[in-house]
Structure 1
Amino acid sequence: MADLFDTGDVPTQGGHRPLADRLRPATLADVIGQEKVLGPEGALTTMLASGTLSSLIFWGPPGVGKTTIARLLADETELHFVQISAIFSGVPELRKVFEAAKMRRANGQGTLLFVDEIHRFNKAQQDGFLPHMEDGTILLVGATTENPSFELNAAVLSRAQVMVLERLSLAELEMLAQRAEKELGRALPLDGPAREALLEMADGDGRALLNLVEQVSGWTVEGRLDTKALGARLSRRAAQYDKSGDAHYNLISALHKSVRGSDPDAALYWFARMLEGGEDPRYLARRITRMAVEDIGLADPQAQAICLQSWETYERLGSPEGELALAQALTYLALAPKSNAAYVAYKGARKAAKETGSKPPPKHILNAPTKMMKEQGYGAGYAYDHDAEDGFSGQNYFPDGMERPALYAPVERGFERELKKRLAYFAKLRAQREG
């Protein structure tokens, strides 16, 4: 079982009823999808079975059933269902809702308050829910398309359980399409590939699929339409992408990890997904350069230069030609040898600096521009490395009394293989000098 769609509004009275409204599930068992929440072992199923339903935050993309499930929860628990939207409601509206809920409670009935787009309420408005949640006046069910850990107050999150609702799979969308065809009393005039293309157009959104099905079912056509004919009549809906929201961070994470995983095809795919979503190529240029510094490092010293050159090329050419330069740099990074040894060494150096931050450098590597400083021993005993036969003095450059840390550990990949040999060579010479 699991979710169907999320219509949000009260069913239309009289006249034409949209297909999404006509197919609204009557029970939680009728819902398509969301097995992790509504399945036999689902979190919500367990809560209902034990009679311990708490306030909830439904987090998921549009059209996966947030409003529908909230309505059905009210039916299952015999709570009065009240729905508000954070877009259209303010403090006066909230005050009226809370007062009505108090009166209801005094008469022996609880209230399930469903707040759509709850992340749009500011901190003060979110705090206003707390006393009414705590004294049992309302059972809050919030819905959000944004990451609750970024958008909701910690106090609200501590009093509610977050449940993640997922995009409907193609199989679940097919089940929904079949249910729609049964309701309409006719099959869609599409061949197999065109039908699959229609499901893809919905992009995991059940409500969007039902709107598409209703549109296609109204066409008068001879035989069945193929994919090309369907595409000529319908436009693919824009992919969900918020340049400042959760999708933004998810996709840049996927892009970065694809490069780190040496998969140029996946890297180019996520790069294209972000561009299609309207991402600023300059942001991508900056992140690509960061990947060269963080994940390729000294295993391929020219990787960083290639990224900077591609960034400069984009600035000179602009879109769309300049984006090809970024794509080439991305491909190069994905196939380059990887090393974060310098990154790890840098973090280790910062940690050591915090722990030993007051220790002065040893006097032999300090300059002595004045007579008094020379008398204090500044520069005394300094060995000029160029005077050594092999250009290496082996002196200590860490503070006196500080144990020498081993921070940089090159890997056996790319150019760092050569650096590892040099490091070992100098370590051998240092041990000879100390001996």
Structure 2
Amino acid sequence: MADLFDPAPGDPAPEGRAPRPLADRLRPTRLSEVIGQTKVIGPDGPLGVMLDSGALSSLVFWGPPGVGKTTIARLLADETDLHFVQISAIFSGVAELKKVFEAAKQRRRTGQGTLLFVDEIHRFNKAQQDSFLPHMEDGTILLVGATTENPSFELNAALLSRAQVLVLERLSHAELEQLAARAETEMDRPLPLDAHARRALLEMADGDGRALLNLVEQVAAWRVDGELDTGALRTRLMRRAAQYDKSGDGHYNLISALHKSVRGSDPDASLYWFARMLEAGEDPRYLARRITRMAVEDIGLADPEAQRLCLEGWQTYERLGSPEGELALAQAVIYLALAPKSNAAYAAYKAARRAAKSTGSLMPPKHILNAPTSLMKDQGYGSGYAYDHDAEDGFSGQDYFPDDMDRAAFYAPVERGFERDLKKRVEYFAKLRRERSE
């Protein structure tokens, strides 16, 4: 399969010819040759159905790097006989967009449609995104945008209403293996790796097909005797950092996974997501803050020790730093996952805030107001107040809500952990309150 003019990795290129990169040599020529993304481009996928019905609309491909966004867009143009134009939002401005739209109009007059592929489309501002709309509506262009960011946050509503968002996924281990095998066939040589090292190479690609082919090309260029093991591979190759944007979807997806694993009482999954974030370079102080929030929100008074342990772990990290202090945070994560769960205090707080917002500026009842002046005493401030320490059981049962507001019950403790005891106290005081109001 190798082109005679394409030298094998490590061999010199013919004079005057630069070797074509492996990723370019393996670029599919038909959609059926694309590895992965069958949920999108397969016969029952949304793009497959569009092509079968002939009802193709503008699209936004949302997915991580190296999963085929550009390749699929180019092949889509080939299969629909549209002229393919590619621009990048990083390097293009309004002036270039105007030229692209004008050229597309000229083609349309001759009966040729245009598929405009916009890489990193989320980098265009709102005004630039709006400039696509009239040309999408009148059929001058079929827009295909590509983004690694969540379109819901990065693209304006008008553009999203005219384009269908298709989610492309990182390549699975099996799909990466298929791609590596295709590369070996193209190069006409196997990779000099044992089974464990081969798996490690696929893991380094982190679901990115383009990254894998770049790694394969490096490994194939090595002149070695026999097969390399994992240790030798890692010595020769810098491990590729996992895809992770501290301000983007990766950040929020992983902290969501950590939070829900803690809430779901799974210490192993909790530790995994905690470790994933650390490996990706997340600030441990951010994690300390978030796990303390988890202790308050999801454990609350079912185990008051949880919050204390988080604060102590946070303080330990501040004193020891990384990596020693991260162990204290890991211990807190384990404790939170195994602690009894209750969001009763969190729910009560939110309910009280809603009530406070809806009741406005209602005054407290006069009997619980202080009366430091004679005028205030004459107005009834403090009149009738019952001092609870003087009452039987240390409980007067008075109403402390505003006069024009019905008594509310915000806090409903659960039958777990320490809140079992708190529930008994709530029920005890409620019983006394009923008895003393009769």
Please tell me the TM-score bracket, short chain as reference.
over 0.9
Q: CA deviation at 1:245?
A: 1.0
Corresponding letter in the other structure for 2:227: R
Q: 1:251 aligns with which of 254, 258, 268?
A: 254
Give TM-score scaled by structure 1 length. 0.94
Q: 1:399 aligns with which of 391, 399, 402?
A: 402
Q: In the TM superposition, what whole-angstrom CA distance separates every residue of 1:236-281 from its partner, at most 9, and x where no partner exists?
A: 2111111111101111111111111122222222122112212122
- Taking the aligned partners of 2:28 and 2:290, their CA distance within structure 1 comes to 45
- Taking the aligned partners of 2:135 and 2:65, their CA distance within structure 1 comes to 28
- Taking the aligned partners of 1:221 and 1:377, their CA distance within structure 2 comes to 95
Q: 2:127 aligns with which of 124, 128, 133?
A: 124
- After TM superposition, list the pairs within 5 Å mapping 1:127-142 onto structure 2: 127-142=130-145
- Taking the aligned partners of 1:401 and 1:230, their CA distance within structure 2 comes to 75
Which position in structure 1 is the counterpart of 2:191? 188
Q: CA deviation at 1:14?
A: 5.3
- Taking the aligned partners of 1:356 and 1:195, their CA distance within structure 2 comes to 65
Q: CA deviation at 1:298?
A: 0.7
Tell me, yes or no, if structure 1 residue 314 matches structure 2 residue 317: yes
Which position in structure 2 is the counterpart of 1:296? 299
Q: CA deviation at 1:18?
A: 1.3
Which position in structure 2 is the counterpart of 1:5? none
Q: Name the Cα RMSD after superposition.
A: 1.6
Q: In the TM superposition, what whole-angstrom CA distance separates every residue of 1:25-74 from its partner, at most 9, and x where no partner exists?
A: 11111111111101121011111112111111101011100000000110
Which position in structure 2 is the counterpart of 1:174? 177
Q: 1:70 aligns with which of 70, 73, 78?
A: 73
* SS of residue matched to 1:235: coil
Tell me, yes or no, if structure 1 residue 230 matches structure 2 residue 249: no
Q: CA deviation at 1:354?
A: 2.3
Which position in structure 2 is the counterpart of 1:3? none
- Taking the aligned partners of 2:179 and 2:203, their CA distance within structure 1 comes to 13
Q: CA deviation at 1:293?
A: 1.0
- Taking the aligned partners of 2:202 and 2:391, their CA distance within structure 1 comes to 74
Give TM-score scaled by structure 2 length. 0.93
Structure 2: state its 5+ residue gaps.
1-15
Q: In the TM superposition, what whole-angstrom CA distance separates every residue of 1:77-128 from its partner, at most 9, and x where no partner exists?
A: 1110000111111111111111111111111111100011111112222122
Which position in structure 1 is the counterpart of 2:10? none
Runs ≥4 in structure 1, deviation > 4 angstroms?
A: none
Name the stretch that deviates more: 240-249 or 257-266.
257-266
Name the stretch that deviates more: 189-198 or 100-109.
189-198
- Taking the aligned partners of 2:122 and 2:275, their CA distance within structure 1 comes to 29
Q: In the TM superposition, what whole-angstrom CA distance separates every residue of 1:128-156 from its partner, at most 9, and x where no partner exists?
A: 21221122111111111111111111221
- Taking the aligned partners of 2:324 and 2:201, their CA distance within structure 1 comes to 32
Q: CA deviation at 1:401?
A: 4.3
* SS of residue matched to 1:390: helix
Tell me, yes or no, if structure 1 residue 202 matches structure 2 residue 205: yes
Q: 2:58 aligns with which of 55, 59, 72?
A: 55
Identity across matched positions, percent: 82
- Taking the aligned partners of 2:165 and 2:251, their CA distance within structure 1 comes to 21
Which position in structure 2 is the counterpart of 1:425? 428
